[in-house]
Structure 1
Amino acid sequence: MINGLERYKKKWNITTENAIKPGLAAITAALEEIGNPHKQGRFVHIAGTNGKGSTAALLSAVLRAHGKTVGSFYSPGIIDVHDQIQMNGEPVTRQALDHVMCELSKVTTALTDFELLTAAAFLQFRNAAPDVSIIEAGMGGRFDSTNVIDPQVAIIPSIAKEHTNFLGTELKDIAYHKAGIIKKWKPVIAGPLENEALQVVKEEARQQHAELIIPNSPYEGELKLKGAHQKWNASLAYHAAMEVLGAEFNEAAAHQALAQAEIAYRFETAAPGLIFDGAHNEASIHALVETIQADFPDEQVRIVLGMLRDKDYEKVLRKLETISDNFVFIDFSNERALPAEKLFRLSNSKIKTIKNLYDILPVTADEEVTIVTGSLYLLSDMRKPGIPFLSEYLNVSD
């Protein structure tokens, strides 16, 4: 489910399938009907298990610091469909999205929701003509609907086990999908990958005659973003900007942009004592736990957790239980959401409750920090109209 997309489908009488159907045939045919907007402009393509959104946002910040206009396509959104398509860091307007949806209403090829949104992004970027468009793959890469572009550079921040029902159960299988975004003669920048995945990426780069760039170390400058993993994401963004900008690249501008960048749901302080983090699989939860231990070594931690049923939720829960024995399990509105009761039954924590998303969370004591995590869709729901203002969760005033 893509929050807010239904409004446009109803307005413009667009019928789609709310399903995941990897493959490029439908999106290619649909884009052909509207003049192949994906063949216009310059692109950066990002695929990986974790770090895609952060790397995209960091790269956007660096490019804009060099005076470039930047389009960005994210998956999923922060609040709804509008922030999945951005221009210079700002969500697409309803007027602009209406314009592209009107054009897409004439397409006869049957599409899924995500294929429709991908096509909308390409149309918006054709209309707005940014200097660079950064495209985040939705799932996998090779057969993801975004993989119709010929990017100037590809980025693979990380590879871990995810979506095994679609991508395969072995790391090399998943790497095969991620490496599918590598294009002939175009460089690819990769983060610190496990050897099994790295060998797949190396072989794909060799077959495509693509230069493989692997930074030797994480970014060493200052960041507002918390966590060692963000240092690696910043390093990838820095190297990607060098490739995109060439002789225009300015080190000072890049460092300043990275130092000032803030990204929603990446260890974000939503209110005093309340942290939002979009970690949703074993690898990203591991990074979250390390960041919590580094930033809150002496505080009591309460975990508010809601997850999708197709994630490895038991491993995530066990990892989080190493730093807390106080959990609130949340039901939220997504057809893939795991019932909070399931997490409750699996949990070994001493203190555990189930809450509906629309209930006000328990007040946090001064010496306690609350971490809301498990799904970007949960965090998006928490910022929908009708949810109590965030400070009310902590009973603090502005």
Structure 2
Amino acid sequence: MTYSDTLEYLYARLPMYQRVGQAAYKKDLTNTNRLMRYLNEPHTKFKSVHIAGTNGKGTSAHSIAAILQSAGYKTGLYTSPHLKTFTERIRIDGDNISESKVIEFVERIKPAIEEIEPSFFEITVAMAFDYFANEKVDIAIIETGLGGRLDSTNVIKPEVSLITNIGFDHTDMLGNTLAEIAREKAGIIKDRIPVVIGTIQPETMPVFKEVASTLNAPLIEAGASDWTPKSLAPNYLTKNYPGIVAVIETLKKEGWQIHEKHIDVGIENVNELTGLKGRLQVLEEKPMIIADVSHNVDGMKVLFDQVAGLCKGTLHLVFGTVKDKDLKPIFMSFPKMSKIYWTESNVPRSLIVEELAIQGVVNGIEGECFKNVNQAISHAKQKVQPDDLILITGSTFVVAEIEEL
């Protein structure tokens, strides 16, 4: 098979949450455990850091990976979803898995795919773990997909776990209260394995303390930090920094050789070291055009607050989302007096632009409609003044389709 044939095979056979939503979500680890046995238990052959949370888990994963790379460790990184290419999901020292490795893996385990019928996410997790084991990484940073307790990644036994901010996202699968969602995320806490809580929230801490106590897992509450980036970085990275540092300090106590300079170099160069994209990413300077994959109300509030400090004129907001979102609180977070450009992405889960516009009107927000994000950006560029700012956000899939990304 060619690489395109391989991806077509995966997409055609395997449910993919990012494309079809809840129908792809498997609420147990049976398939993953069967794949691990078929592959000779690769998840037991490398050390890891496991990360769950609502907001900040992706940036935390990339940042921790960048720090470990700066310290000289061969570092694997598994994140999802991808923006431009499937191979972004699986990296070692910032380099994507090769297309030939993807082809080889799928051909090798085709019998298992036919028999087990795993989800798209389950197969990519198996691919990542197999790759990290075969390439003998020193450590791999593993980001959960949804939740934690029943997430396909939750078969590893990490050096330390990290739970970032808990917010209201995927409530149809994870629960309707922060405590319920926290209990799903707390599923990554393992027996006697340290867990860092990156954001201290009164609704969620009792849950984490209860689970950690039951499992005799040392619980580390990340403190405040006065660290500030030397270049433009998302405010939510600053919010995640205490958790990131607490993870690094925990690794140091376990014997990992990491120094202060590695933290500084890793954080300041996270984009270059790990290939991180779509987090307050500046696409053009004059006028400033920023792309950010924030897609729930908590993340957007932080994003809009920061953008307000960067925008000297009018904010031109290019916004698209998916079908399974409660849009009212997101709309309420929109900066006042913004010019809105509704758009959609080319995935089945995308909320079509006409429906998005209708929901906008219901909530008192008017905007122009564009079937493609690049059309929306082009139109906004024709209307901006030098001090205006164009922000593209609302969905990973909308940002992924930006031609200049």
Pairwise same-fold verdict (TM > 0.5): yes
Matched letter for residue 345 of structure 1: I
Contact 2:51 2:163 (C-alpha < 8 Å) held by counterparts: yes
Identity %: 25
How far apart, in 2, do the equivalents of 1:274 and 1:258 lie?
A: 23
2:394 — aligned with what? 374
Change (3 A) 1:13 1:326: closer
How far apart, in 2, do the equivalents of 1:265 and 1:258 lie?
A: 16
1:285 — aligned with what? 300
The equivalent position to 1:28 in structure 2, one of 25, 33, 44, is 33
How far apart, in 1, do the equivalents of 2:277 and 2:95 lie?
A: 13
2:260 — aligned with what? 251
1:361 — aligned with what? 378
TM-aligned CA deviation for residue 10 of structure 1: 4.5
Structure with more helix by fraction: 2
* 1:214-363 equivalent positions in 2, closer than 5 A: 214-246=221-253, 247=255, 248-262=257-271, 263-272=276-285, 273-296=288-311, 298-320=312-334, 322-347=335-360, 352-357=367-372, 359=375, 361-362=378-379, 363=381
2:179 — aligned with what? 172
TM-aligned CA deviation for residue 110 of structure 1: 1.7
Change (3 A) 1:374 1:49: same
1:394 — aligned with what? none
Contact 1:72 1:134 (C-alpha < 8 Å) held by counterparts: yes
Root mean square deviation of aligned Cα: 2.2
Q: Secondary structure at the match of 1:192?
A: coil
Q: Secondary structure at the match of 2:367?
A: strand
How far apart, in 2, do the equivalents of 1:13 and 1:261 lie?
A: 30
Q: Per-residue CA shift, 1:114-162, capped at 9, x if unaligned?
A: 1111111111111111111011100000001110111111001111111
2:19 — aligned with what? none
1:57 — aligned with what? 62
How far apart, in 2, do the equivalents of 1:271 and 1:86 lie?
A: 27
- Is 1:90 aligned with 2:72? no
Contact 2:314 2:338 (C-alpha < 8 Å) held by counterparts: no
The two structures have a TM-score, normalised by structure 1, of: 0.90
TM-aligned CA deviation for residue 324 of structure 1: 3.8
How far apart, in 2, do the equivalents of 1:336 and 1:295 lie?
A: 32
* 1:8-157 equivalent positions in 2, closer than 5 A: 8-10=6-8, 15-18=13-16, 19-107=24-112, 108-157=115-164
How far apart, in 1, do the equivalents of 2:283 and 2:11 lie?
A: 37
Change (3 A) 1:12 1:268: closer
Q: Which runs of 5+ in 1 are unaligned?
A: 384-388, 391-398
Q: Per-residue CA shift, 1:344-392, capped at 9, x if unaligned?
A: 1232577621112153621233121100000111111224xxxxx47xx
2:197 — aligned with what? 190
Matched letter for residue 144 of structure 2: A
Q: Secondary structure at the match of 2:204?
A: helix
How far apart, in 2, do the equivalents of 1:59 and 1:8 lie?
A: 31
Change (3 A) 1:11 1:170: closer
The more displaced of 220-229 and 171-180 is 220-229
TM-aligned CA deviation for residue 13 of structure 1: 11
The two structures have a TM-score, normalised by structure 2, of: 0.88
Q: Report the number of matched residues.
A: 380
TM-aligned CA deviation for residue 56 of structure 1: 0.5
TM-aligned CA deviation for residue 289 of structure 1: 1.2
Q: Which runs of 5+ in 2 are unaligned?
A: 17-23
TM-aligned CA deviation for residue 291 of structure 1: 0.8
Q: Secondary structure at the match of 1:299?
A: coil
Matched letter for residue 282 of structure 2: T
Q: Per-residue CA shift, 1:171-220, capped at 9, x if unaligned?
A: 11100100000111111111223211111111111111111111220352
1:386 — aligned with what? none
TM-aligned CA deviation for residue 113 of structure 1: 0.8
The more displaced of 225-234 and 189-198 is 225-234
Contact 2:222 2:242 (C-alpha < 8 Å) held by counterparts: yes
Change (3 A) 1:59 1:13: closer
How far apart, in 2, do the equivalents of 1:356 and 1:27 lie?
A: 37
